Amino acid sequence: MSVNKNDTIFVAGHRGMVGSAIYRKLQNEGFTNLLTQTREELDLRNQDAVYRFFEKEKPDVVIIAAAKVGGILANDRYPYSFLHENLIIEDNLIHASHSNGAEKLIFLGSSCIYPKFADQPISEDSLLTDVLEPTNQWYAIAKIAGVKLVESLRIQYDRDYISLMPTNLYGPGDNFDLETSHVLPAMLRKFHEAATNNHEPVTLWGTGSPMREFLHVDDFADAVSFVLRNKMDHHLYNIGTGKDITIANLAKKIQAITGHEGEIIWDTDKPDGTPRKLLDVTKMANEGWTHNIGLDEGIQKTYQWFENNIENIREVDMS
């Protein structure tokens, strides 16, 4: 199914970094019937409320950008919250979409669904072939369940439902809370605050040796738009750049962009996480989509947004 500009599209999680980027992208492309609900208007954990909403609105397309998210520390500290809430949210939305005849659905996951020691770059076929990274297994298991829900609906009911697995995303609207954020926004905040405090030393977790791939959220929104406009052959696609960088070199980039001139201290008593996580993006490239925003440009844009919104930067309640 190729989506029309007047189709009703429900963007679940439109206030988050990913959902807001998708919403902006669709608005700019002229989609005129975008449907949203705040957490106060619709609790996605409440099955009855979600089902009533879908029965009333009957969206043609559903994009699931809603999730409880966080970095290593948050996943380790709140395992039940990450597993339980993400399972409920995705099951409510996917089943309600199917039951009410949504023609197209895009489920957004994370590259953490893949095994800790998967062959690099990681292909979609690596799913469920080995053990997960322990520090974020709770979130990963929930997302794997969502992928399998989508796949099973395609098999049993021939639904045009698709899962997209992005690499590490960053950009405007990110979470910069030092306890719950991912590595890139956490570094941006740490280096910014250190630079404004007489360039004091910055302490970072681990050894700096792990390698990570980063994708600007506006590029990911462009990939979502591409999937909406095209008939896709597979149920699961990796979305990334196909390029990675060591955490140590990422730190140097961010240090330079923020103007920090102090020392970087690596706390090697803290975990590194997965040694390397680079996605094989061949399948999506074969469909005709590739990223546009380079890492230096993307970090600079994100830092500009951070400075302009520093009084209102988003932090996440994990309770």
- Note the Cα 212 to chain centre separation in Å: 14
Main-chain dihedrals φ then ψ at residue 2, nearest 5 degrees: -100, 125
Task: Specify burial of residue 248 (Cβ count, 10 A radius: 0-12, 13-18, 19+).
Answer: middle
- The enclosing domain of 96 has a CATH number of 3.40.50.720
Is 3 a domain residue?
no
Residues 6+ apart with CB under 8 A from 45: 85, 88, 89, 92
Among 162, 196, 183, CA closest to 1: 162
Is 58 a domain residue?
yes
Q: What residues make up the domain containing 107?
A: 9-175+213-242+277-293
Determine if residue 212 is labeled as part of a ligand binding site. Answer: yes
What pLDDT score was predicted for residue 229?
94
Among 147, 160, 144, CA closest to 60: 160
Taking the whole predicted model, whether its pTM rises above 0.75 is answered as yes
138-184 pLDDT, tens digit per residue, is 999 999 999 999 999 999 999 999 999 999 999 999 989 887 778 99
Is 63 a domain residue?
yes
Length of the chain: 319
Is 92 a domain residue?
yes
Tokens encoding 85: 């809430």
Residue 232 confidence (pLDDT) above 90: yes
If pLDDT is split at 50, 70 and 90, which confidence band does 68 have? confident
Q: What's the structural domain count of the chain?
A: 1
Is 49 a domain residue?
yes
- Note the Cα 148 to chain centre separation in Å: 18
Determine if residue 19 is labeled as part of a ligand binding site. Answer: yes
Is 180 a domain residue?
no
Is 119 a domain residue?
yes
What one-letter code names the amino acid at 166?
Answer: P
Is 111 a domain residue?
yes
Beta strand segments in the chain, E: 9-12, 34-35, 61-64, 104-108, 160-166, 168-170, 202-205, 211-212, 214-216, 236-239, 245-246, 264-267, 276-277
Determine if residue 276 is labeled as part of a ligand binding site. Answer: no
If pLDDT is split at 50, 70 and 90, which confidence band does 103 have? very high
Determine if residue 13 is labeled as part of a ligand binding site. Answer: yes
170 assigned to active site: no
Determine if residue 252 is labeled as part of a ligand binding site. Answer: no
Catalytic residue among 114, 139, 170, 303: 139
